[in-house]
Amino acid sequence: MDQSDSYALRNALEQIADAEGDVDGYIAQQSDLARKVPQVAAEIAHRLLEAGRFEEAWEAINAPDDNDRGWTPYEWEVTRIAVMRATGRKKEAQDFIWECFVRSLNADHLRAWLKDMPDFEDVEAEDKALQHALSFENFSTALHFLMTWPAFEHAAMLVSNRAVEIDGNHYELLGPSADTLEDRYPLAATLLRRGMIDFALTMARSKRYRHAARHLQECESLALRIETFAPIEDHETYAAGLRSKHGRKSSFWAKVQG
């Protein structure tokens, strides 16, 4: 029997076990090595949890080795939280939810964490989470979280404080974020658009020149509403810098003038 046949047989036996509500039959199809894989551990623990076998579910969900786990699937995290609650480990569950949020900025984890907060403590707890997002190691992940939470003031603060980390290649995030922020936070919107402009020109992405030209025009318009640019350069200085660095990219400047 080749590997594909073996997989098909195991998959069929798993389906039969599930159809018959045979949790042990399902588990029997998983090797000892597979049971240490977070995704498989979550599947096993979920079935044990539904069967009311809570302590066995706790043992199953903890089978993966902390040192070898690497990237942790969301399904494993939420299943572990459910098992914790089912086994009366409510304080551990709350601590683990926060740990998961700190690691990923997953908004669902934050909502679950705030939901179980004592009365009148949720506002302070939310602020703690937003402050953590401001220092999160991945700028784009932090911006996405703050824009979708939403926490626009914090998003603008993130952009202003960490402008050098803006990845202009993430136009699908930066564009809508700039559009949303420009009314109340024109400086942050300008910095996001500059990030896209700089990327397009530095990397010579000619297909993006049309958008970059529009972003530069938008920056010029927003400049009228920005009281102070300090410590970053104002629009005139920025535009002059573009001319100096990318003056030979005639197709871009033609689009700016057009």
pLDDT at 170 exceeding the cut of 90:
yes
User: What pLDDT score does 227 carry?
Assistant: 93
pLDDT confidence tier of residue 56, bands split at 50, 70 and 90: very high
pLDDT at 10 exceeding the cut of 70:
no
User: What pLDDT score does 17 carry?
Assistant: 66
Domain range summary for the chain, segments of one domain joined by +: 133-258
Both tokens assigned to 231: 């410590």
pLDDT confidence tier of residue 120, bands split at 50, 70 and 90: confident
Using CA atoms of 36, 40, 80, 48 in order, give the dihedral in degrees to the nearest 10: -110
pLDDT at 79 exceeding the cut of 60:
yes
- DSSP calls for 61-128: HT-S-GGG--SPPHHHHHHHHHHHHHTT-HHHHHHHHHHHHHHH--HHHHHHHHHTSPTT-HHHHHHH
CB atoms closer than 10 angstroms to residue 93: 21
Report, as an integer, the average pLDDT of 160-175: 98
Alpha-carbon distance values, 153 to 26, 50, 108, 109, 171 (Å): 49, 42, 21, 21, 20
Report, as an integer, the average pLDDT of 167-177: 98
User: What pLDDT score does 4 carry?
Assistant: 63
- Name residues whose C-beta falls within 8 Å of residue 160's C-beta, 6 or more positions apart in sequence: 187, 188, 191
Report, as an integer, the average pLDDT of 50-70: 87
User: What pLDDT score does 38 carry?
Assistant: 94
pLDDT confidence tier of residue 69, bands split at 50, 70 and 90: low
| Calpha distance 47→197 (Å, rounded) | 51
pLDDT at 245 exceeding the cut of 80:
yes
Yes or no: say if 191 and 198 are a contact pair by the CB < 8 Å rule. no
Q: Where are any strands of DSSP class E within the chain?
A: none
Q: Is the dihedral of CA 132, 138, 141, 144 positive or negative?
A: positive
User: What pLDDT score does 6 carry?
Assistant: 66
pLDDT at 5 exceeding the cut of 60:
no
User: What pLDDT score does 22 carry?
Assistant: 82
Both tokens assigned to 132: 């953590």
Give me the count of residues in the chain. Answer: 258
Yes or no: say if 245 and 233 are a contact pair by the CB < 8 Å rule. no
pLDDT confidence tier of residue 68, bands split at 50, 70 and 90: low
Burial 95-108 (b: 16+ CB within 10 A, else e): ebbbebbeebbbee
Percent of the chain residues past pLDDT 70, beyond the cut: 93
Alpha-carbon distance values, 241 to 48, 91, 163, 236, 245 (Å): 63, 55, 17, 9, 6
Report, as an integer, the average pLDDT of 52-71: 86
234: phi then psi, degrees, rounded to nearest 5 = -75, 180
User: What pLDDT score does 16 carry?
Assistant: 80
